[in-house]
Amino acid sequence: MMQMRKLGTSGLEVSAIGLGCMGMSHGYGPAKDEAEMIALLRAAVDLGITFFDTAEIYGPFANEILVGRGLAPVRDRVVIATKFGFEIGADGKQTGNLNSQPAHVREVAEASLKRMGIDTIDLFYQHRVDPAVPIEEVAGAVRDLIAQGKVRYFGLSEAGPSTIRRAHAVQPVAALQSEYSLWWREPETKVFPVLEELGIGFVPFSPLGRGFLTGAITATAKFDSSDFRSTLPRFSPESVQANQLLVERIRQIAGEHRATPAQVALAWIFAQRPWIVPIPGTTKLERLQENMDATALELSKADLAAIDAALAEVEVHGARYADRAERMIDR
């Protein structure tokens, strides 16, 4: 039986683990076979996952279409999150520019609803904070969409404490989605106290370090040119080699529990706060099952202390993003 978790005090309840869908059609090499991914989406629902994450720029557009088709027969059983905030050119390609103008937010909502074939977006995130648009205006645009019944809940992604507070004052924020894992813990000190105070849930993306924390990536790994890890400093051969020590520490703890490194990495996240719901992505059924089984792995206080001690010994090498993407993070 899948555990359920509440995202803060918003009233939004989802499976304790969600499914990040981006990699099915974007970001990690060529898009996967549509029929296979639809089967995976439906298998996830059968296994108890109720929380699915997509965005208009994943493709662009292809991932929302895929998720809509895959979840159509089970729409009443799932929570679908998507995102706005980037500009997409007339040619259907990402421009890399931000756009959270209220009119654009409304346009994206209408287009996303149509692409996914749904009447309401369950959770609508601002993908990245747009410094050109006051967050109050963005929150107001989503508040209007909620009043119209086109959106249920409002979320932010990679937003800092001040932005979260200002947005929440206009339209309550149900969830913050940001990167968080054993090798990226910045949210703990900067945003966790604000989330706890305001009753906002936390949805970590890349909880497995974009695959690194599974132990499957070595310094000899080759990434396809359409795999965005090929552009990330943290995935340079030098950084991957230097960061192997972290994986070895996790592997040792996993061995003690007859678990996999991925399961330990996810169990560690579950143990941090009861209002955290990670969304690891996968395109393989066996990995989906492995990730789900992590919800049953309970780490003791001694385990958590051992992990903290191990992390204190390890200096993670390499920036998590290239400069331009890093500048889009709101701190």
Rounded Cα distance, 103 and 297, in Å: 45
Distances (CA, A) of 50 to 199, 259, 300: 21, 24, 27
HSE-up of residue 269 (Cα within 13 Å, Cβ side): 34
User: CA torsion 259→8→145→141, rounded to 10°?
Assistant: -100
How many C-beta atoms lie closer than 10 Å to residue 282's C-beta?
22
Out of 58, 125, 153, 180, the active site residue is 58
H-run or E-run covering 193 = helix 192-198
28 in active site? no
Directed axis angle between helix 261-270 and helix 244-256, to 10°? Answer: 80
How many C-beta atoms lie closer than 10 Å to residue 246's C-beta?
23
Catalytic residues: 58
